Amino acid sequence: MAVYTHVSSADLDLFLKDYDIGDLIEFEGISEGVENTNYKLKTEKGLFILTIYEDRVEEQDIPFFLEYMFYLSSNDINCPLPLKNGDNLFSEINGKPASLLTFLNGKSTVSVTDEQAYQLGLILGKMHSISTDLKINRKNPMSLGSFPKLIDISSNTAENFSKNLNKVISEEYNRILSNWPEKLPSGIIHADLFPDNVLFNDNKISGVIDFSFSCNDFLSYDLSICINAWCFRDGEFDISLSKNLLNGYQKIRELNKEELKQLPILCSGSALRFLLTRLADWKVSNGDAMVTPKNPDEFVKILDFHKDINNSQDLSLIHISEPTRPLYI
């Protein structure tokens, strides 16, 4: 979440006239995130979130995000629900598509605990288990095919972080591309389930937010994103967090042998994906925007951790009693 598109109270009054939520009382921009513009609105009928979809989101993809959110909610996974404007699930403000969403209570964690990692595993496992029944499709816009363009965009920024970073990125991209699996269990994934997109109340997950990267891809790729996002502290791998995350996940959905085998390369791929997009966002950040770019350096360290991990057997000595299980578990 972020603020790229600035709106006035008059803009909002005009936008809200077709919604039955009462008059606007106050509003404020939300600076977290980098993808879309978001405002927190207070009206006579409560709190709401206004999401304005920015240039990287295709308008044709918005129904996918919203339908996925409705589906999750109908299966007892708490997430924001779009409010309808007549028969429409999204509208327009200042010439850009926008959705009005219900507000969820809770706070994201700033220091992940074992219990929170376990709770994440449970809800991610449930999201994946039910997603195979929802027959909607969106190609992952951040798949390996997008990496060459991102590498080109971020090359100058990469040099500012480290004179060798472009070389590392090139080598890792080639390694990942040559080892990427062709087929694994697939379905709808969140694709951006970082701690700031999960809300907690009393150490229990109260909601999942920000679905603008959701798409169809390998389910275990989504899991690899969560390993990278939740199980490292300042670039150092925390096996206890990873074990709890995977234990929670496999309580709901057990990984098959091929998914376990491919998990190291998937972790490398997701680490490179977020390194590249953070470098790109660092470069193109608009000085007029209310946004907090995320430092790419964290994912330089995470990518470096994964590059020496070739297969599950290389990592087996962490758990002597379970010699076929990878380090991540």
Three-class secondary structure assignment of 272-327: HHHHHHHHHHHHHCCCCCECCCCCCHHHHHHHHHHCCCCCHHHHHHHCCCCCCCCC
Model-level pTM?
0.91
Determine the topology of domain 114-318 in CATH: Aminoglycoside 3'-phosphotransferase; Chain: A, domain 2 (3.90.1200)
C-alpha span between 31 and 50 (Å, rounded): 13
Q: Report which of 258, 134, 256, 112 is spatially closest to residue 193, judged by C-alpha positions.
A: 112
Per-residue pLDDT of the chain (329 residues; tens, 9 = 90+): 467 889 999 999 999 998 999 999 999 998 766 678 999 999 999 999 999 999 889 999 999 999 999 999 999 999 999 998 888 889 999 999 999 999 999 999 999 999 999 999 999 999 999 998 899 999 999 999 999 999 999 998 998 888 899 999 999 999 999 999 999 999 999 999 999 999 999 889 999 999 999 999 999 999 999 999 999 998 899 999 999 999 999 999 999 999 999 999 999 999 999 999 999 888 655 555 555 678 899 999 999 999 877 654 343 333 333 333 455 66
Q: What is the pLDDT of residue 56?
A: 81
Q: What is the pLDDT of residue 1?
A: 45
Domain boundaries, the chain: 9-102, 114-318
How many residues are recorded in the chain? 329
Q: In sequence order, which ranges of the chain are alpha helices (DSSP H)? A: 9-16, 62-74, 114-131, 147-161, 165-179, 219-230, 239-252, 257-284, 297-306
Q: What is the pLDDT of residue 147?
A: 97
Give the distance from CA 61 to its chain's centroid.
16
Q: 9-102 and 114-318: same fold?
A: no
C-alpha span between 204 and 201 (Å, rounded): 5
**Token code pair at residue 251:** 């309580």
Determine the topology of domain 9-102 in CATH: Phosphorylase Kinase; domain 1 (3.30.200)
